[in-house]
A and B are shown apart, each in its own frame.
Chain A
Amino acid sequence: MRLELHQVSKRFGESQALREVTLSLADFHSLAIIGPSGGGKTTLLRILAGLTAPDAGSVRIDGQTLDFSEPALLEHRRSIGTVFQSYNLFPHLTARENVLLPLVRVHGVAQPEAESIVATLFERFQLSRHAHQKPAELSGGQQQRVAIVRAIAIKPRFLVFDEPTSALDPEMTAEVLDFIAELRDEGRDLIIVTHNMGFARHVSDRCVFIADGLALEEGPSDSLFDRPQHPLLAAFLARVLRY
């Protein structure tokens, strides 16, 4: 996919989350957005996911300019799959019903067809025996896997992950990261914000480093991690990779 940002700014009260970010990323399949906390990477992701409109600037995804009016953003959100840190699932619905809801109510898939889509996906990702459990009965890793299945069930243009494992313990993190890597191997386009540098490098072919509301460096993931150019990125990597 292709991504072009032109002077994108976003301010929350006093803090400037993004300062005139201009970026042009051509031809990637999986993009990792890395950087220190509070640097603006989640804000950028939320703009790409259609959850927040920037104060200024323009965004083009695959050559298509994002329209930031609410009806257009709703359509945009419907065309992509978004997975948050945690609490993605609705607690009153079973795992299966959580996946059925957008299929049936948002995308107008007939109930029997939607049920067979869900059954197939649950089968494939070893979730079948949890289909009738409520989120509270599932582990954090299982919940995230169901949330990811919900995101892919609608055949999204691309997937967006906002620190999908930061609320999980290490074992469950591996379970969820394996799942995301599997999706990447299937050829799905994805954009991921993560604190897990090993995974960011492993899963992405392209990487952007965001700090202080600026996109300070971008490039193919391997070279960005091996030969960071910007001193802040070098310092950041030295810090997070020390242990």
Chain B
Amino acid sequence: MSLLFAPPPGKALARAAQAASWCLVALMAAGLFSFAFAQLHYGWNWEAIWGYRQKFLQGWAMTVVLSAVSLGASLLIGLIAALARRSSFLPLRYSAVLYVEAIRGTPLLVQILILFYVVANAFGVENRYIVGVLALSLFAGAYLAEMIRAGIESIRDSQLESARAIGLTPAQTYRYVVFPQVVRQLVPPLAGQFASIIKDSSLLSIIAVSEFTLNAQEVNAFTYSTLESYLPLAVGYLLLTLPISLLGRVLERRFRFAA
């Protein structure tokens, strides 16, 4: 028994041992939730929800699109902020510091509200999808900026010296020496960042962006079937984040040995 669940360290895990432990964990989770749901004495009404399956799908697709666009935009913003942070022009450098610290120090919810009701309003931007993508990418961009900066700073001085010695210009040094190495370091955490954006996009429901969470809330309002509305929501997010998280782990392993 102890060999099955606590194999000696150092050896590769046997498939049987892995499967047995996963089954045990799944059983315990299932038991816990079965007990909790049984205590509710809840009258399940899945038929009402099935009628709204299109709405779930549309919301889910919108979440995927919003998250993907935001990931792309946040990479660009993060790159600009990381470079600005290393600029020798102080106002630019301090703007980047202010941006990163302000975003990382405040809740996304507050940022969305301020961006939509104050900033976007002041500039006459009414499209809540544009504001939503902007809010998500500004948020993720601040975290990416720090990752990119750490990546750039991990390049040893000796490499920059070599780049100078062979006659690369500073721009060429970034293009051919620094960025290729930063990208390698960035790919694994980027998967995690993408999963975060997907989950964080649920907050856009408060400014009525018709994404997955808002649609589930609406179905709940129409049917009064709260659990039936929100359980598919959890499953829908997991369907996106689990593969991404697994992909991140694969990439991490691959890039670790490629250094």
| A residues adjacent to B (C-beta < 8 A) | 49, 51, 74, 77-78, 82, 84, 86-92, 101-102, 105-107, 134, 136, 150, 154
Interface centre among A89, A92, A106, A150 (most CB of B within 10 A): A92
6 closest residue pairs by CB, A with B: A78-B167, A82-B165, A102-B166, A87-B158, A106-B167, A77-B167
Cβ < 8 Å to A, chain B residues 139-163 = 156, 158-159, 161-163
B259 touches A74 (CB 8 A): no
Measured CB to CB, the closest approach of chain B to A58, in angstroms, equals: 22
A90 touches B162 (CB 8 A): yes
A51 touches B168 (CB 8 A): no
A51 touches B164 (CB 8 A): yes
Cα A113 to Cα B143 in complex, Å, equals 43
A101 touches B176 (CB 8 A): yes
A89 touches B165 (CB 8 A): no
Cα A117 to Cα B154 in complex, Å, equals 32
Q: Mark B163-205, 1 if CB is under 8 A from A, else 0.
A: 1111111001000110011001000000000000000000000
Chain B interface bracket (under 10, 10 to 19, 20 to 34, 35 or more): 20 to 34
Cα A105 to Cα B167 in complex, Å, equals 9
| Known A-B contacts A101-B176, A105-B176, A136-B259; A89 and B162 likewise in contact (beta carbons under 8 Å) | yes
Interface centre among B159, B165, B176, B184 (most CB of A within 10 A): B165
Tell me which residues across on chain B come within 8 A of A82, comparing CB atoms.
165-166
A51 touches B161 (CB 8 A): yes
A-B contact pairs, 26 of them (CB 8 A): A74-B167, A77-B166, A82-B166, A84-B158, A84-B162, A86-B158, A87-B158, A87-B159, A90-B163, A90-B181, A91-B181, A91-B259, A92-B180, A92-B181, A101-B166, A101-B168, A101-B176, A102-B166, A102-B167, A105-B172, A106-B168, A106-B172, A107-B167, A134-B258, A150-B166, A154-B166
| B residues adjacent to A (C-beta < 8 A) | 156, 158-159, 161-169, 172, 176-177, 180-181, 184, 258-259
Tell me which residues across on chain A come within 8 A of B258, comparing CB atoms.
134
A87 touches B156 (CB 8 A): yes
A77 touches B158 (CB 8 A): no
Tell me which residues across on chain B come within 8 A of A101, comparing CB atoms.
166, 168, 176
Cα A83 to Cα B181 in complex, Å, equals 22
Tell me which residues across on chain A come within 8 A of B167, comparing CB atoms.
74, 77-78, 102, 106-107
Measured CB to CB, the closest approach of chain B to A174, in angstroms, equals: 24
Measured CB to CB, the closest approach of chain B to A131, in angstroms, equals: 18
Measured CB to CB, the closest approach of chain A to B184, in angstroms, equals: 7
A77 touches B162 (CB 8 A): no
Cα A49 to Cα B161 in complex, Å, equals 12
Known: A84-B158, A107-B167. 15 other contacts (CB 8 A): A51-B164, A77-B165, A78-B166, A84-B161, A84-B162, A87-B159, A87-B162, A90-B163, A91-B181, A91-B259, A101-B166, A102-B168, A106-B168, A106-B172, A154-B166
Among B169, B172, B177, point to the contact of A90 (Cβ < 8 A): B177
Select from chain A the residue with minimum beta-carbon distance to B157.
A87
Cα A35 to Cα B23 in complex, Å, equals 70
B159 touches A77 (CB 8 A): no
Cα A105 to Cα B177 in complex, Å, equals 12
Cα A154 to Cα B156 in complex, Å, equals 24
Measured CB to CB, the closest approach of chain A to B175, in angstroms, equals: 8
Tell me which residues across on chain A come within 8 A of B184, comparing CB atoms.
92
Tell me which residues across on chain A come within 8 A of B180, comparing CB atoms.
92
Tell me which residues across on chain B come within 8 A of A74, comparing CB atoms.
167, 169
Among B164, B172, B181, point to the contact of A77 (Cβ < 8 A): B164
Measured CB to CB, the closest approach of chain B to A49, in angstroms, equals: 7
Tell me which residues across on chain B come within 8 A of A106, comparing CB atoms.
166-168, 172
Select from chain B the residue with minimum beta-carbon distance to A153.
B166
A49 touches B176 (CB 8 A): no
